[in-house]
Structure 1
Amino acid sequence: EPYYNKILEIIRKISVTTFKQNPDPWLYKGIVSGCLRVAHQSVFTDANNFTTFGMNAEPYTGFFGFTEEETHKLLADCGLSEKENEVKEWYDGYRFGDKHIYCPWSLISYCYAATQKDIYAPQPFWVNTSGNDIVSMFAKNSIEAHDSGNVDRLQRFSDRNVIEISLKEFTTYPDLNNNMDFDIFMTLMLHTGYATYAEETYSTDRVKIRIPNNEVALCFKNKFENLYTKNNHHWFNQTLSLVDLLMENKTEEAQMLISTMLKEFLSIRNSGDELYYHGFMTGILGIAASTKGLEYYEEIETGTGFSDIIIDNFDSEIACILELKKTEKLEYCYDAAQEATKQIIQKDYASKFISKGYKKIYGIGLGFAKKSCRIVSLGNLVEARTNQ
C-alpha cells in the first residue's frame, strides 16, 4: 500500500499487449517466473492456457537453484572445497522433487566474499535482500488476536522442528491482512523459500515442512527476538501494565495478565524448567521496570538467601519481592505459589528494605505449571512486621 492496485493495473496492461496479439501474433512462447501462481493476482485474465510448473514439477526441479553436483563443482572452482559442510548447513536444505537444492543467490554471494578473504564466516545473504515483513506481520497479528495456537506452531517451526500443514492457496497479498490462517501463511512461506518440504513428505495435500538451513533459521530467530522488545508495542504495553499491577499488589489482575502472556508467548515444550519461567519473567519485567525508572534486581543477596526478582521504587519507598516456583501439574500451581511465599518469609527477604524504612514491601509468590500461573500475596510485609 498504497501502490498495490496501481502496479496491478500496469502489469495487466503489459499482459494484454504481450500475450494477447490478435490478429497477428508475434510471440511464440512466453515464460513468467515468480514465487506464486500467476492466476492469483488476476493480471493474466486476457492470456489463456497458462501451464504452471511448481517447485516439485518434473523435469524442472533442478532449475530453481544449484544442485549438489553444481555446488560441489562451484566450490572446487573457487578453491573452497574444504568449506562444503559449512556451506551445506547454511545454504542447502531445499527439497524440490527428489533433488536437494542450494540457494543460488546466497551461494554465489558467499563464494565471491570468501575468495576475497583468507577466513570468511557464512552469513545471511538471500534473507537480507528483503525486509521479511511478512513474518513479522503474521506473528504480530497472531499475538494481537490472542491466537496462542498460531504463535506456538510458528515458534516450534522457527526452532527447526518439522511441522505438518495443509497446503492452502490464497487469492491476493492483501487477503493476508484479513486472513491469518496458519496453513495459508505457511504455504506462502513454502512458496517463497522460508520453508521447504521435509524428507518424509509424500502427500500432495497434507505435507510436512521445515526450515531449510541456518540462513533462514537466523532470520526467524531475529524476528522473534524483535517481537519481545519495545518495538512490539502490544507486548511492551502488557509488560508496563504488569509492573504497575505488581507494584500495587493487584495480584488477581497480574495473575490473569501473566497467564495470557504465557499462552501468547511461551511454547509449552519450553515449560519444563523453572529457569525458563525465571527467564520469561526477567524478559517481561526488566526493560519495563527500567522504562518506568525503577530498579530491577534478580538473584541478589537479601536476608539469608537470594531472592528471585525484586522491583524497587526508591522514591516512593515501595518494593516488590517475587519468588517463583514451578510444578508439573496444573492442580498444584496454587500450592507452588504458597511454597514461594513461605520462602520469602523463611529467608527474610524483606529485611533489607525494612531496615531502609520502606513504607510498602509486597511479598508475592508465583506458581507456574505449563502455560498457567497462580499468585499468592503476603500483602505489605511492613504492616505484617508491625502487627507482630
Structure 2
Amino acid sequence: MKYTTCSEFAEKSGLSVRRIQQMCRSGEIPGAQKQGHSWRIPADTVLAAGAKGSEPERKLLPVGISNFRLAATNYYYVDKTLLIRDFIDSRPMVSLFTRPRRFGKTLNMDMLRVFFEKTDEDTSVYFRDRKIWQCGSRYTAYQGQYPVIFLSFKDIKCASWEETRGKIARLISLECQRHIELQDSPRLNSYEKEQYALLTKGKADGISYEMSLQLLSLMLHKHYKKETIIIIDEYDTPIQQGHVCGFYPEVVGFMRNFFSGGLKDNPHLAYGFLTGILRVARESIFSGLNNLKIYSILDSTYSEYFGFTEEEVREMLAYYGAEDKFDEVCQWYDGYLFGSTEIFNPWSVTNYISDHCFPKAFWQSTGSNEIVGEIIAAATPEITENLQLLMSGQSITTYIDTSVIYPEVQNHPYSIYSFLLVAGYLRVSAVYPQNDGNFMCDVAIPNKEIFIVYEKEVLNKTQQDGTAVSIQQAIFSSDAEKLQALLEEFMLQSISSFDGANEGFYHGMMLGLCAVLSYRYQVRSNRESGLGRFDIMLFPREKSLPGFIFEFKFAKESNVSLEGLAEQALQQIEEKKYDTEFLDAGIKDVVRIGIAFRGKNAVVKSR
C-alpha cells in the first residue's frame, strides 16, 4: 500500500497539518499509522462527509490557575494525584516540599486539601477520573475524612513587620471564617468559642495569633472528632521578605512559635504539609520537630510531582497539535533534574503552548529575587569567574548545603550556588553525597530560557547601570567607535586607577561583559585556533549569527600609541589565523576586534 505524509494529505484535503495529526490520533482517518514522530496515511484515503469540520474544541490552558477544582474541571490538567498515593504509603507526620517558584506547589497543596477535607460537598467527583481513584479503596478511603487548615503565604511580601503581621492575621481570620461551623458547635466550650470569635474578627492578641494553628486544630478536632490536617503553602516567603527588608528576627520569632504550636507535639494534628523554596532547617523554626520529613530537589521521592515529566509534555503537545515542537520545548524549558527525574518547567511549557508555540523566557520576573542580587553583589573573584563559566555553557563542581539559611548570604558568599540551585537558576548534572548529609554537585544552567533569565535577573545585578548592556549591543552590532566610547565610560565608572595594571585585568573585564551574550554564543577564552591562542571568541550557537574574535593589548607607558597597538591586535588575529575554527564550522561572517588598553582609556579597531 502506498502512503502519504500529513502535509501532503492536508494540502489535498484543504485542512491544516495539525488538524490532520489530530484526526490521526483520534482514529478519524482509517489506516493511519504512526512511524516515529510522524503519521503515514494511506494514499487512497478519502475523508468522510462532515470530516472537514473545524479544529476540535480543546480545554483551556491553565495559565496561572492554582485552584484544583477549577484546574481539574475547566482546564487541561496534568494529573499529579498519585502524590496522594505515595504520601499514604509512608504517611510522615509533617512533610516539607522545597521546589523553585512556579513549579506547581500551590496547585498540589490545594489538591491535597480538596482530597482530604471533610465537607458537605461530595468532592470525590474531582478525583473519580484521576489516577488516584484507580489505586483502589485502600487509598480512596482517605478521601473527605479530615478537617483541614489551609494557609498560603505566597503573597505576603510586605516592607515591614507590622504589615506582615497584619496580613498573616488577616489570612488566619479568613481561614477561621471558612470554618464557620465552629461558631455554634455544641462540642466547643465558651472559652474556645470566644477565642474563635476573636481570631475570626481579627481582634486576637499577638500570643493568640502565634498559637492560632494549635487553637484552630484543637477546635476542629473537637468538632469533627477527627485530627486536623494542616497545609502551609510557601511558608518561607515572609521570612525572605524579613531578611531583605530588615525585620528578620521578628518574623522568625513569630514563625517559630506559630509552627511549633501547630506541628510539634500537637495531639490535634493528623498530618502536616509545607512547601517553600528553602528548607531553612537551621533557622530553629522547626527546632525539635522530629516528625518533619524534608523532600528537596535532590531527593527522588515525589520527584515527578512538581513540574512536568517528558511523557506529560509529549502528551500535552500532542493534545494541542504541537508534537513537532518537542525538541524546541526541550531546548528552552527542560534540563532540571529533581532526584532522578528529568523535569520541565510547567509554567513555561504552559505559557509556550498558550503563546502559539513561540519560545521566550516566560519564567523571568515571576518572583522576587533580591536575595540573589545580594549574594552576587558580595561575590568573590572566584565566584565571578565561576558565573562566567556557567554562562559559557560549562558546569562547575560545588558544595550544596540543603539547609542554607538567609543570614548566610552575607557571611558565606559560597552559598550562592545553593540558592541558585533551589531557586531554579541551576540544574544538577551529577551528585556526590557527603557524610554531613549535604552534597557535592556538578551544576550548570539548564536551558535557553534560563540563559536569558540569568542575564536579566542575575548577572545584570552586578552591573552599575545600562552601560554594560550598551557595550554588549555595540559588540553585537560591530560598532567599534561606539564600543570604544562605552568601554571608556564603563571603566571611568567602575574601575580603580590601580586596577588596570596588566592585560589580564582587562581580559577578565571583557570576559564578564561578553558572558551575558552566552545564550546566543559560546564564550571561549584563551583557546588554540589556527597558529596561536586567541584572547576571547564568541562562537555562535546558530550559524545565521556572526562570529567574533577579540585580541587585547596593554600599554603602561604613556608614550605608546594605543592606535598602533589596536592595529597590531587586528594584524595578529589575521596572521595567526584565529578564524580557523569558524571557517572549519562553516561560519563565514566573522568580526575581528582589536582593543588596546591603558588605565581608563581604550582604542577599538575592527574589521
TM over 0.5: yes
Rounded to whole Å, the distance in 2 between the matches of 1:134 and 1:121 is: 31
SS of residue in 1 equivalent to 2:276: coil
- 2:361 pairs, out of 116, 124, 132, with 124
- TM-score, normalising length: structure 1: 0.59
The answer to whether the aligner puts 1:266 opposite 2:511 as a matched pair is yes
Query: 1:256 corresponds to which residue?
Result: 501
Which residue number in structure 2 is paired with residue 168 of structure 1? 401
Q: Deviations over 1:245-282 (max 9, x none)?
A: xxxxxxx85843986454456359435646879xxxxx
Decide which moves more: 129-138 or 264-273: 264-273
1:88, distance to aligned residue in structure 2 (A): 1.4
- Contact 2:300–2:341 (8 Å) recurs in 1: no
The gaps in structure 2 that reach 5 residues or longer are 1-244, 434-438, 472-486, 513-522, 527-532, 539-549, 569-593, 602-607
Q: Deviations over 1:66-123 (max 9, x none)?
A: 1111111122222322222221111111112332111122222333x23xxxx44122
Offset, 1:210: 1.0
> For 2:342, what is the secondary structure of its paired residue?
strand
Taking the aligned partners of 2:403 and 2:510, their CA distance within structure 1 comes to: 27
Change (3 A) 1:76 1:241: closer
Q: Please, which of 426, 445, 451 is the counterpart of residue 217 of structure 1? A: 451
Q: TM-score w.r.t. structure 2 length?
A: 0.40
Would you say 1:35 and 2:277 are equivalent positions? yes
Whole-angstrom distance in 1 between the partners of 2:362 and 2:567: 55
Match of 1:90 in 2: 332
Residue 9 of structure 1, aligned match among 243, 253, 271: 253
Contact 1:226 1:232 in 2 (8 A): no
Secondary structure in 2 aligned to 1:256? coil
* Alpha-carbon spacing, 1:261–1:175, altered in 2? closer, same or farther (3 Å): farther
Q: Distance in 1 between matches of 2:567 and 2:324?
A: 61
Q: State the match for 1:383 in structure 2.
A: none
Q: Which residue of 1 aligns with 2:410?
A: 177
Per the alignment, residue 105 of structure 1 pairs with: 347
1:152 and 1:265 in contact (8 A); partners too: no
- Extract unaligned runs of 5+ from structure 1: 245-251, 278-323, 347-365, 378-388
Higher-Rg structure is 2
Question: Aligned pair in 2 of structure 1 residues 171, 69: CA closer, same or farther (>3 Å)?
Answer: closer
- 1:187-206 aligned at under 5 Å gives the runs 187-198=418-429, 201-204=430-433, 205-206=439-440
Partner Cα distance (2:302, 2:455) in 1: 32
Q: Cα deviations across residues 136-183 of structure 1 (Å, max 9, x unaligned)?
A: 3333222xxxx32211111111222111112235652122023212xx
Secondary structure of 2:393's counterpart equals coil
Q: Distance in 1 between matches of 2:467 and 2:564?
A: 36
Pick closer, same or farther for the CA change 1:343–1:91 going to 2, 3 Å. Answer: closer
Higher helix share: 1
Q: Partners in 2 of 1:226 and 1:49 — Cα distance?
A: 40
Q: CA deviation at 1:60?
A: 1.8
Contact 1:15 1:46 in 2 (8 A): no
Aligned pair partner of 1:78 in 320, 337, 353: 320
Cα–Cα, structure 1 residues 241 and 101, in superposed 2: closer, same or farther, change >3 Å? closer
Indicate the SS of the match to 1:28: strand
The residue type equivalent to 1:256 in the other structure is A
Q: Which residue of 2 aligns with 1:352?
A: none
Q: Are the counterparts in 1 of residues 534 and 551 from structure 2 also a CA contact under 8 Å?
A: no
Contact 1:196 1:211 (C-alpha < 8 Å) held by counterparts:
yes
From the superposition, tell whether residues 161 and 338 of structure 1 become closer, same or farther in structure 2 (CA, over 3 Å). Answer: same
For residue 286 of structure 2, give the secondary structure of its aligned residue in structure 1.
coil
Q: What whole-Å deviation, never above 9, does each CA across 1:283-342 have from its counterpart, x for those lacking one?
A: xxxxxxxxxxxxxxxxxxxxxxxxxxxxxxxxxxxxxxxxx9647xxxx9889x958565
- Within a 5 Å distance, the mapping from 1:217-256 to structure 2 comes to 217-222=451-456, 223-225=458-460, 227-228=462-463, 230=465, 242-243=491-492, 255-256=500-501
Aligned AA (1:141): A
Change (3 A) 1:243 1:98: closer
> d(CA) in 2 for partners of 1:109 and 1:18?
37
Letter of the structure 2 residue corresponding to residue 211 of structure 1 = I
Name the CA distance, whole Å, in 1 between partners of 2:567 and 2:308: 65
